[in-house]
Amino acid sequence: MSFCVAIDGPAAAGKGTIARAVAARFGFAHLDSGLLYRAVGRRSLAGEDPVEAARTLDARELDDPALRTPEVAEAASRVAAMPQVRQALVDFQRAFARRAGGAVLDGRDIGTVICPEAEVKLFVTASDEVRARRRHAELRAQGREVSLAQVAADLRARDSRDAARAIAPLRRADDAVLLDTTAMSIEQALEQAIGHVRAAMCRSGCSGAGSDARG
Ligand code: DC
């Protein structure tokens, strides 16, 4: 039986942390869809045609830590505005969303385009300042020397491009629950997200999809 949790939102809002924790808690598979665009962006930085890169993408590329850099994130946002790139990545994501045993996907268009019939939709956000601080701390932890102002400017530029593009823009689905994590601890955000998933599972009588050992 399939059960899809769609988690969308702007960069550095906490989607990934929430998606990983929800997947672990309920025994669902997890796909960080941003990695698909990052992998295509990385290949385009190396001179490859982005559409060709999207069509020949290999899931094993998604594990590469080199996809986590700000340069690749920027390239990802650019190739993500290309309709043929997005089209080439749709089938893989839809199949993932409907795999047996449940799936969590996080990205920008999961609840609106990839899985509009998802059993749970969360739109995770936080203030620009808090998101910039979180991303800055992550980059510092990776040993990258970059100013907070630069991180904030990069996030703003990427978010506006992701929200302004003509195809599958970053947008909250009408039926998505808004989770503003600005003033929340990670634990509080996770508790809320898990509560929404558990409620949806009860509503759909979906006891066979994954398991929540702690009840
Ligand atoms: O989530 P992320 O920061 O790793 O995503 C990198 C870029 O990929 C992001 O700026 C926009 C694009 N993206 C997208 O267009 N649609 C998705 N579902 C996920 C990411």
Nearest to 110 by CA among 197, 27, 7, 191: 7
In DSSP terms, 31 is beta-bridged to 105
Residue 178 structure tokens: 């808004």
- Confidence category of residue 1, pLDDT binned at 50, 70, 90: confident
Mean pLDDT computed over 6-33: 97
Ligand 1 site, residue 119, Cβ cutoff 6 A: no
The number of residues in the chain equals 215
Whether pLDDT at 54 is above 70: yes
> Starting at the edge strand that comes first in sequence, how are the strands of the sheet with 120-125 ordered?
29-32, 103-107, 4-8, 120-125, 177-180
State the Cα–Cα distance between residues 194 and 154, nearest whole angstrom: 31
**Given the CA of residue 80, which atom of ligand 1 is nearest to it?**
15
- Confidence category of residue 41, pLDDT binned at 50, 70, 90: very high
User: Has domain 4-203 been given CATH number 3.40.50.1100?
Assistant: no
Residue nearest atom 1 in ligand 1 by C-alpha distance: 34
Ligand 1 site, residue 73, Cβ cutoff 6 A: yes
Cα–Cα distances in Å, from 134 out to 12, 64, 105, 131, 188?
A: 7, 22, 21, 5, 16
- Confidence category of residue 205, pLDDT binned at 50, 70, 90: confident
- Confidence category of residue 204, pLDDT binned at 50, 70, 90: confident
Mean pLDDT computed over 21-39: 98
Q: Is 211 helix (H, G, I), strand (E, B) or coil?
A: coil
Q: How far is the CA of 208 from the centre of ligand 1 (A)?
A: 31
- How confident is the prediction for the chain on average, in pLDDT? 94
State the Cα–Cα distance between residues 18 and 28, nearest whole angstrom: 13
Detail the DSSP E strand segments found in 88-190.
103-107, 120-125, 177-180
- Confidence category of residue 206, pLDDT binned at 50, 70, 90: low
- Over residues 139-192, the pLDDT tens digits come to 999 899 999 999 999 999 999 999 999 999 999 999 999 999 999 999 999 999
Q: What is the pTM of this model?
A: 0.94
Mean pLDDT computed over 48-76: 96
Nearest to 129 by CA among 158, 151, 144: 151
Q: Is 49 helix (H, G, I), strand (E, B) or coil?
A: coil
Residue nearest atom 20 in ligand 1 by C-alpha distance: 34
